[in-house]
Copies of this chain bind each other. A is one copy, B any other.
């Protein structure tokens, strides 16, 4: 199979598949003309990666999961650990977003949204009463 075929079958863009080869997640063969030649096994890996990515696992998580997937003597505890940590990251992010959401929706409701300049949103942003946001990784970007 050429890259276009696996792209269609896996649902991943060809660019992404090349990238995954670049970083060592898949290792397709090469035809004599230089084209990548994918086996069933490569296709399965790519589908696995696509599914894992769609659940929000990072590439490094995927690398670990793929390794465990291919290791028939794995311990399910190792898989579960990766998943649980990811779940915790998701929960943390949701918490963070909901905190933002709460403040924002309050401000949006307060704002008249007309052609006058008076604006509670700007008032809030400009007010000096917020705790200095010092340490802690900025996740919201």
Contacts and interface: CB of A to CB of B under 8 A. Distances in A.
Contacts of A137: none
14 contacts: A9-B132, A44-B126, A48-B125, A53-B138, A55-B103, A58-B141, A68-B122, A74-B119, A76-B115, A76-B116, A76-B118, A83-B108, A90-B104, A94-B101
B76 A105 contact: no
Contact of A121 (B9, B83, B122): B83
Interface string A28-42: 000000000000000
Contacts of A141: 58
Number of copies of this chain that the complex holds:
2
- Per DSSP, chain A at the interface is helix
